[in-house]
Amino acid sequence: MTDQALILRQAAVGDYYVYREGRLIGRIRKTENHVHGSVVWAWGITVPLPSGAWTRGSADSLEAAQKAFRAAWEQFYDSLSPEQIARWHHTQDARKG
C-alpha cells in the first residue's frame, strides 16, 4: 500500500480531508490542546470500519500529522481483508446515494 497517494483537500483554514483513490479516509485539522493551551494538528482515520485508538492522534505541525496519518493508514489498510474493504466501499457508496 505504501505507493498509494494520499490527497489532502482543504475544507477550511486549518482543516483538511484526506482521500485515497477518490475515497474519503480521514481528516487532519488544526485545533487547540485544552490541557496545554497550545495549537496541535489532530488527525484521524474515518472509514466506516472498526478501528483502534491508534488510528487517531495529534502532532505539532501539519507535516508531522501527515506523516503520522500515513503510517497509521498503511498499518490499518494492510490489516484489512478483501471482504472488509468491500464492506467499507459498499457502506461509503451507500451514503453518497
23-33, strands of its sheet edge to edge:
6-12, 15-20, 23-33, 38-45, 56-59
Instruction: Check whether 15 has a pLDDT greater than 60.
Output: yes
- Please give the DSSP secondary-structure letter assigned to residue 38: E
pLDDT one-digit tens code per residue, 30-78: 998 777 778 899 999 999 999 999 999 999 999 999 999 999 999 999 9
Cβ-based neighbour number of residue 35 at 10 Å: 6
Q: What is the pTM of this model?
A: 0.88
Q: Is 81 helix (H, G, I), strand (E, B) or coil?
A: coil
Cβ-based neighbour number of residue 32 at 10 Å: 11
AA identity, residue 6: L
pLDDT one-digit tens code per residue, 20-29: 999 999 999 9
pLDDT at position 43:
98
pLDDT at position 67:
97
